[in-house]
Amino acid sequence: MRKPSASAADLPSRDASSLSANHLAASEVLARVFGYESFRGDQHAIVEHVINGGDALVLMPTGGGKSLCYQVPALVRPGTGIVISPLIALMQDQVDALTELGVRAAFLNSTQDWQDTKDVEQAFLNGELDLLYVAPERLLTERCTQLLERGNIALFAIDEAHCVSQWGHDFRPEYLGLSVLHERWPNVPRIALTATATDVTRREIASRLSLDDAQHFVASFDRPNIRYNIVEKQDVRKQLLQLLRQEHKGDAGIIYCLSRNKVDDTAEFLCAQGIEALPYHAGLGTQVRAHNQSRFLREDGIVMVATIAFGMGIDKPDVRFVAHIDMPKSIEGYYQETGRAGRDGLPATAWLAYGLQDVVQQRRMIDESAGDDAFRRRLAAQLDAMLALCEAIACRRQRLLQYFGQRIAPCGNCDNCLQPPVAWDGTVAAQKMLSAIYRLMKERGQRYGAGHLIDILRGKSTPRVLENEHQKLTVFGVGLDLTEQAWRSVLRQLLAHGLLVVDQEGYGTLALTEESRTVLKGERTLMLRREAERSAKATTPKSKAALPDLPSGAQRIFEALRQWRSEIARSHGVPAYVIFHDATLREIAMARPDSLEDLGHLNGVGVKKLESYGESILTCIAECAER
Ligand code: ADP
Ligand code: ZN
């Protein structure tokens, strides 16, 4: 569909008779307000369903386009769309972005003073708001419910709906109270949205939010523009620097670490290397966190080093890489975190470095964690799935999506597809290792780690070996054919295949499983993944996940437009992408429109933005042409 052309004459006025009162059809709202030509995937079906008053449960990957699913119906239906979101720190930016589009939006949360609160409440009662963002704890107060009862509500959108899941990593107790919405406003449609996708979570959301009659919309979770790359951890700082310098120079990105200390150390290290890196974790003061987050959103090319406390709801579209330097605890979490890369649809990288130590350490953390056995078993199963992903020989994306119950062909855009790992018959190596462990297990009360085990296999007479007379074991020195690194890889793969466990009672020692016997008895062949010889090769797939270059003329215009955008963004006090996305600027630079009408046809240029910025963009392009 061609967008209706926009001219100043059919601009929505900013008074009370504006957008929502006009009852524009969904596609018209999409084109005029958001500047998009067509809906993506399920968006259209979802939007129509909600406009017609139906409840919906929407599962879409990060960057899939959830916001439009409630923003468009809120503009089409009479009344205000109430958006419930736990992310107070992002509400201001969300409201600013909508305001730039000419949408009348506001928020109610604890950061506001009395007068602001009263103004927003009044605007809502006067029917002057299209969208109102509310924190869940605020919504559940008597004052707020009474306010909502006096106004006109278009819909309730429950964002980050997985926060209602007690098993999940983002549980927010306030979310449990949201089932009252249905009781108090049975006729207002509710749409719950999340990027967390397993069946268990989905069922939990539906039942806890009383979404019994809701239609479920499960989108494809594939994010084809993200290149997955999982490497063996060797010298992780060196590997990280290589990634940042060779593949993502000057790019914005996120680096996830497991501990606060590691966040601080890594950020400091990167700064010393001349990379603009900022730390983010729950141990930093609120102000520091807010400041760092704001710099990440507003400035170009900042690297955020963070624990998983960072990132939910961050809709910065041009995050070019997400790097994990510790193994994540679950595929679910990992997929959400990596999904923060490349929301603009342009090429992006998800990079993960992991090692045996990660597995052992996390297993220990699970064993020591509070909670009952069932809870710990669940954590352990999640970790196992993550490990299996790391050790996979076939397409990473296939395996990731399989975890969410979706099937695809090999993707062609992950390390395993681009540089298929060599598989080798590891049966004999596995037998050697398993029998060494079997012998060590007999020595009750002793604790031997992976290092000692490998020393025995490689016949090293270390003090520890001699002290325990392990040079007398029949397995001593049987493993000289493999390097220490190769043995570590075998060990990890045995863990990943469930042929070994990190023993709970033994506190981090290794133990055999029922399955191990089949290998020891020679009843099965075990194909293993061969690690690339050199770390350098292992970290860099053939081609990097870079943006395609623009032709030189267009590149000049693009640079000029970015310059222009950053000035506007600074003077409005908003992140640059709130003015226009890179993807839109690239499109403008390629098309070189010379009239408002042509400009208005480009994807990402809505009526309000055309009115605000059209002339100055045309001037910018014209000046570029003269030079
Ligand atoms: P989510 O909330 O699901 O993570 P967003 O709603 O932030 O994703 O959308 C991701 C990006 O895709 C945003 O930059 C948004 O502007 C863009 N987008 C969403 N829907 C469309 C569409 N129909 N056409 C073009 N761009 C879209
Ligand atoms: Zn692949």
- Residues 386 and 327: beta-carbon distance below 8 Å: yes
Do 304 and 278 meet the contact criterion of CB atoms below 8 Å apart? yes
CA of 68 from ligand 1 middle (Å) equals: 7
What is the residue type of 427?
A: T
DSSP H helices, 468-581, are: 484-496, 516-520, 535-539, 552-572, 576-579
Q: pTM of the predicted model, to two decimals? A: 0.84
Q: What is the pLDDT of residue 356?
A: 86
Ramachandran class of 306: left when φ > 0, alpha when ψ lies in -120 to 50, beta otherwise: beta
CB count within 10 Å of CB 87 equals 18
Torsion of CA 542, 547, 552, 557, to 10 degrees: -170
Distance 262 CA to ligand 1 centre (A): 33
**Using alpha carbons only, what angle is made at residue 463 by residues 450 and 234, rounded to the nearest 5 degrees?**
35
* 447 vs 449, residue with greater confidence: 449
- Using DSSP bridges, classify how beta strands 527-530 and 422-425 pair: parallel, antiparallel or unpaired: antiparallel
Ligand nearest to the CA of 409: 2
Q: What does the pLDDT look like over 491-543, one tens digit per residue?
A: 988 988 889 887 655 555 788 888 999 999 999 999 998 876 533 444 444 45
50 φ/ψ angles, rounded to the nearest 5 degrees? -75, -40
Tell me: pLDDT of 71 over 60.
Answer: yes
Cβ proximity of 45 and 615 under 8 Å: no
Backbone angles phi, psi at 551, to 5 degrees: -60, 155
Mean pLDDT of the 482-488 span:
91
Using the predicted structure, report yes or no on whether residue 626 has a pLDDT greater than 90: no
Higher local confidence (pLDDT), 533 or 469: 469
Per-residue pLDDT of 334-363, as tens digits, reads 998 999 999 988 999 999 999 988 888 888
Ligand 1 contacts CB of residue 339 (under 6 A): no
**Which DSSP string do the residues of 557-616 spell out, in sequence order?**
HHHHHHHHHHHHHHHHTS-HHHH--HHHHHHHHHH---SHHHHHTSTT--HHHHHHHHHH
499 alpha carbon, distance to own chain's centre = 31
Contact in structure between 328 and 322 (CB atoms under 8 Å): no
Q: Note the pLDDT of residue 361.
A: 84
Identify the pLDDT of residue 373: 85
Q: How far is the CA of 161 from the centre of ligand 2 (A)?
A: 30
Q: How many CB atoms lie within 10 A of CB 9?
A: 5
* Pocket lining: 524 vs ligand 1, CB cutoff 6 Å: no
Cβ of 36 less than 6 Å from ligand 1: yes
Q: For ligand 1, say whether the CB of 343 is within 6 Å of any of its atoms.
A: yes
pLDDT of residue 378: 85
| 315 pocket-lining for ligand 1 (C-beta < 6 Å) | yes
Beta bridge partners of 279: 305
What is the residue whose two structure tokens read 């018209």? Answer: 28
Ligand 1 neighbour 39 (Cβ under 6 A): yes
Mean pLDDT of 465-480: 92
pLDDT at residue 193 is higher than 90: yes
Contacts of residue 462, defined as CB under 8 A and 6 or more positions apart, other chains included, come to 452, 455
Q: Is the CB of 600 under 6 A from ligand 1?
A: no
pLDDT over 90 (residue 275): yes
Mean pLDDT of the chain: 89
Token output for 476: 């001593």
Nearest residue (CA) to ligand 1, atom 5:
65
Question: How are beta strands 190-194 and 153-158 bridged, if at all?
Answer: parallel
Nearest-CA residue for atom 16 of ligand 1: 65
Whether residue 60 has its Cβ less than 6 Å from ligand 1: yes
pLDDT for the residue 535: 39
Which atom in ligand 1 lies closest to the alpha carbon of residue 37? 24
What torsion do the CA atoms of 548, 604, 312, 171 make, to the nearest 10 degrees?
A: -130
- Residue 134: the pLDDT is 97
pLDDT digits (tens, 9 = 90+) for 87-130: 888 899 899 999 999 999 999 999 899 999 999 999 999 999 99
Q: What is the pLDDT of residue 444?
A: 65
